[in-house]
Structure 1
């Protein structure tokens, strides 16, 4: 066990025993002859006393020496001990958020009972939702993106330098052919388009990289946009000199947080290379200045940039907050199996705060008026290859409205599966100044909720479940009111 954790456990036990004896730090100092500051540092886990000092403390506190030095904690502090012994604090990417491990240790030392309750709650939530290490890593990564407004200047700059070094013209769309040439000539890759399709177990994978021979196996059914993105990610791993990386796309499992973060770096680099910041800005300027919404813009952008709808929407989450000050936005990705009423959020991102449309892990029914769901219903009905929706979503509960763009496509790797990506922009004064077509009458406005079970909209024809949770809250509120009235009457 880490030495600092042993110090912390000793300090926690000493503080707990002192509390049971109803002793202040001053009182323990007077009882033992040890200075108050020294005892304080022991309890905070900063110092571990020598044997003679432990013997003195054991004697004056009237507890066995072995009990005091044991790493075993009673039931009140047991979860804290489990946390420390699991070494999960070593797994956390604390440095990314400017947090020192010692800071967390101080929190544990100063409020062990509260931390214990928090840890127990987290453990229960993790068990209930099957929240494993990979889920935890992805949640940490999402927090990292949100803390940085999902914009990373160092990776933007790396793309510009790469383009200069390899004579890539960022004023036009990049092709898979020119990126493949760089992989082969510069980095010694071998591209294999035949073998991946021979293994039915791998039908969900788009590519596998074999580092020993630098062989990149590509699924034969990837389209030009997907192939370009795969090549761009491989270039990123090499150009950014990334060692610890994932070797499959899509990923199978993460072994460490470094792999998660490096996957973000490579994906971000690829997106910035395929959809250059400056060129996207030129298109966006023209799009936002139009008095009426251009229905063909998003579809044309995916073709112009040789990118998938998801790559374009993800790139917008990089550019809009930084270059257009549209900082209040969210991104959602859904999957939907044909013939079912199930819609699952598979990815989400919220900038500045968590916005009204967000994931819910309790099997509640997401609002069917969401653009991301409406577009999936439409593509299932029509069978089109690509379907786009735009709408204004108004949330009566919190009186917030969002401008929503959503695109749905067939999943090329899974039969009868559809996916949608959507981006929502909070309608405020800043957005009204930037988006000229916001008052376009052709953009429909919908009153929406988060889930049917929590929705107050009474005349909703799309409702999939009664507002049971909302009804329970209203009932509890009425009970509280009556209890308060009775208290006042008989006081």
Structure 2
């Protein structure tokens, strides 16, 4: 949990910026507690107002003689003033500073100057401390780990830039040019493995699951043997999954990303940089396997068809030697850039065959927070195609009739809103984990621009279903798929009724 990780590392020495900030925060809080102005403290210590102000903002750290003067003026002992321990009021800020979040999260990615953040902390320490304390308490209540915090930050970073990064596209293009790979050549697992072996001296082997049963379920594992790199891959992966693994390794090597994850199974990232580098390498893999210009051209042809053709879409994924998940992620790069279609969401659900539980394990939203999204402790609408396709897959498996990836499409209309989404879902077993199925879905919010670009949306061929976010929020009381009472909706309506009654009472004479 977040608090456990913070406590675990609380003995790690603060960096110099944070030491200055802690001293400044303590000085300012003590001055305010003594009801002294900057001018008052200046007169008591002989230090200039501007110098004391810079100390309080964490920009300067005074020498010993000046600390003695400050301690005397504030009637505290020297050791207490220079201690990095903050008062109870400022404990949340202390926890934040002693965690690895501020030092490891690259704030510049989000347009935040670290110096500005430190100044904000020094300007209103008590109010910000209360706010930070609230965030930490929320994280604790939801058992949020530091890794989950990093994943959330990474997802926000992707969404800020519409999940399209020109610098990574250019790196992929430069790689293809350096190795003289023709545009029309679609890279497969054998070609990519050969590049790893010949150019980066990789040794590639299958995981020996009999010898190492604890590695069953792990897709890939990189082992360092001196200067040699040994890549172990699961024998359960298909050729397209292996292609992505090899492409990601090429991304790490070509872009010289040193701080990296050696496996993405049950990740416990040591830093945000590791997750960011994994994302960059994964983006690179998608970009060299599914070349942007070719995908845009083929999508234009697909969108011109008079009807939605699931088989044609599956063939397109196979053409690129890709997986449905990688393909959907690549769509999220290409649709905003090449088609001006930016209101998108991506969802991935896991489901054990035969069980009526669906876990949302990955999501991404572009341009806005869309209707289908993570809601804790509630039942996702069983009318979503992302869930019905998993139920269909489990039924086919039970009958022994499953043979290939399923693809289904639906127009979802959210009850009591104007929002409609064109949603395409894919479902298949999640190799190599037994009995675990996965669906990945790409949703596009419908508007005039989308309908003008995707012609088959105007034919009425794709079925429309009334859906909602969760059963707990849904007013459709005759829904046969309902899994729980509309408790959230009922509570909301009760509160509205109380407000109306209070308004009526206040108007009575």
Same fold at TM > 0.5? yes
The structure-2 alpha-carbon separation of the partners of 1:235 and 1:20, relative to structure 1 and needing over 3 Å to count, comes to closer
Q: CA deviation at 1:204?
A: 0.6
Distance in 2 (alpha carbons) for counterparts of 1:95 and 1:197: 46
Question: Structure 1's 485 and 22: CA in aligned 2 closer, same or farther, altered over 3 A?
Answer: farther
CA shift in 2, pair 1:245/1:33, >3 Å = closer
Structure 1 residues 194 and 70, CA gap change in structure 2 (3 angstroms):
closer
Contact 2:261 2:278 in 1 (8 A): yes
Query: In angstroms, what is the RMSD of aligned CA positions?
Result: 2.2
The farther-off stretch of 24-33 and 339-348 is 24-33
Q: CA deviation at 1:358?
A: 0.7
In 1, are the aligned partners of 2:234 and 2:432 still within 8 Å (CA)? no
**What does residue range 307-386 of structure 1 map to in structure 2 within 5 Å?**
307-360=322-375, 362-383=376-397, 384=402, 385-386=404-405
Residue-by-residue CA offset, 1:97-139 (whole Å, 9 max, x unaligned): 2322222211211222232222222222222222212212211
Contact 1:452 1:463 in 2 (8 A): yes
Q: Deviations over 1:8-41 (max 9, x none)?
A: 2232233323333444444544665544333322
Greater Cα offset, 439-448 or 244-253? 244-253
The offset of 1:422, in angstroms, is 0.3
Pairs within 5 Å for 1:264-279: 264-279=279-294
- Cα 1:67–1:312 change in 2 (3 A) is same
- The residue number in structure 2 matching 1:99 is 112
TM-score between both structures, scaled by the size of structure 1: 0.93
Q: Equivalents in 1 of 2:264, 2:490: separation in Å?
A: 45
Taking the aligned partners of 1:70 and 1:217, their CA distance within structure 2 comes to 49
Q: CA deviation at 1:398?
A: 4.1
Task: Output the CA distance in 2 between the equivalents of 1:249 and 1:94.
Answer: 24
Q: Is the 8 A contact 2:350 2:439 kept in 1?
A: yes
Partner of 2:504, secondary structure, is helix
2:211 matched residue in structure 1: 198
Mark the runs of 5 or more structure 1 residues left unpaired by the alignment: none
**CA displacement at 1:48 relative to structure 2:** 2.9
Give matches, 1:33-432, under 5 Å: 34-193=47-206, 195-196=208-209, 198-212=211-225, 213-248=228-263, 250=265, 252-360=267-375, 362-383=376-397, 384=402, 385-432=404-451
- After superposition, the Cα gap between the structure-2 partners of 1:84 and 1:221, relative to the gap in structure 1 and judged at 3 Å, is closer
Taking a change above 3 Å as real, the CA distance of residues 154 and 471 of structure 1, as seen in their structure-2 partners, is same
Give 3-state SS (helix, strand or coil) of 1:77's partner.
helix
Q: Choose from 33, 49, 55 the match for 1:20.
A: 33
The CA distance in 1 between the partners of 2:37 and 2:16, in whole Å, is 27
C-alpha deviations, 1:147-194, integer Å up to 9, x for none?
Answer: 221112222222223223323233243222222222222222222236
Once the two structures are TM-superposed, the CA of residue 94 in structure 1 deviates from its matched residue by 1.4
**Structure 2 runs not aligned, ≥5 long:** 1-13
Is 173-182 or 314-323 further displaced after alignment?
Answer: 173-182
Give yes or no for contact 1:408–1:420 (8 Å, CA) kept in 2: yes
* Contact in 2 for aligned 1:404/1:422 (Cα 8 Å): yes
**SS of residue paired to 1:420:** strand
Normalised TM-score (structure 2): 0.90
1:261 deviates by 1.5
- What are the Cα deviations for residues 275-300 of structure 1, in whole angstroms up to 9, with x where unaligned? 11111111100111223222323211
Instruction: Indicate the SS of the match to 2:422.
Output: strand
The 1:120–1:249 alpha-carbon spacing in structure 2 relative to 1, beyond 3 Å, is closer
- The verdict on how the C-alpha distance between 1:74 and 1:187 changes in structure 2, with shifts beyond 3 A counting, is closer
Alpha-carbon distance, 1:59 to partner: 4.2
Q: Distance in 2 between matches of 1:2 and 1:236?
A: 32
Q: 1:94 to 1:197 in 2, by over 3 A?
A: farther
Q: Distance in 2 between matches of 1:134 and 1:404?
A: 30
Deviation at 1:335, TM superposition (A): 0.2
C-alpha distance 470-280 of structure 1, shift in aligned 2 (>3 A): same
1:460 equivalent in structure 2: 479
Number of matched pairs: 489
> Structure 1: how far apart are the matches of 2:202 and 2:64?
61
Greater displacement, 49-58 / 131-140? 49-58
CA deviation profile, 1:317-343 (whole Å, cap 9, x unmatched): 110111111111111111001221110
Local SS of the residue matching 1:369: coil
Distance 2:249 2:283 in 1: 12
Q: Select between 260-269 and 119-128 the one with higher mean Cα deviation.
A: 119-128
Q: Following TM superposition, where does structure 1 have runs of at least 4 consecutive aligned residues deviating by more than 6 angstroms?
A: none
3-state secondary structure, aligned to 2:200: coil
2:506 to 466, 475, 487: 487
Contact 1:292 1:437 in 2 (8 A): yes
Change (3 A) 1:465 1:59: same
The whole-number CA distance in structure 1 between the counterparts of 2:198 and 2:65 is 69
Cα distance in 2 between the residues matched to 1:100 and 1:433:
41
Structure 2 Cα separation of the partners of residues 398 and 52 of structure 1: 67
